[in-house]
Amino acid sequence: MNVLSFIRGDSSLKPSEKKSREIFFYLIFGGLTTVVNLISFVVFDKIFGTQHAFITLGSLRFDLLAYDILNLITAWILAVIFAYITNRTFVFGSKGPIFKEFIGFVTSRIATLLAFEIGTFELCILILQSGFGIDKSIVLFSLAGHTFTYLYLVKLLNAVFVVIGNYILSKLFVFREKKTKSDSKGSTSINGESDSKVEQ
């Protein structure tokens, strides 16, 4: 297998090689998407971590920043834009309609946002604080003058679920390969009969 052909995703690649290439590049760009997400989350947490953003619905009053929701969603938006561009261009090499594909992509990412980015993230925080008695704001380590708390560790570990979920949904519902008509019945000859049935 030629390395350049593998990188470009040439038509000369065997189906197994195409599959390997797809997974390989998804892991690379999935990892980079995770980096974009994590960096964005840390930056917004540093900026808005001590701030409050209240929203009132009738008699109910919510603080959007109290549970890191706004930080999560902002980081998610940036990561989704980066992921769509790289997935379409480098991973799946899609030529489908951009708008329709993007809508499907965003819809699938909303599913993983609710299930993993927010769902399992908040569950892990709950387990960490209520189960182990470790506050999410406790400093885990410091690097170059910046402190990293258990909140960031949970975010990093949770990214594994996000990457797996995103790949499955992207493969099944967004960047699907168009099915071609099977040639198993033989091609049609001029007189309308199947070539496989034409007597020699």
* pTM attached to this predicted model: 0.68
Chunked mean pLDDT (size 10), the chain, 200 residues: 73 82 89 90 76 66 62 87 91 85 92 87 89 88 82 87 87 72 47 46
Dist CA 31 CA 28 (whole Å): 5
pLDDT of residue 60: 62
The residue written with tokens 């951009």 in the block is 98
pLDDT of residue 198: 43
Looking at residue 115, the DSSP 8-state letter turns out to be I
pLDDT of residue 136: 85
pLDDT of residue 61: 64
Q: Where are the beta strands (DSSP E) in 98-152?
A: 139-143, 146-149
Q: Could you tell me which of 68, 69, 44, 72 has the C-alpha nearest to residue 137?
A: 68
The residue written with tokens 């706004």 in the block is 70
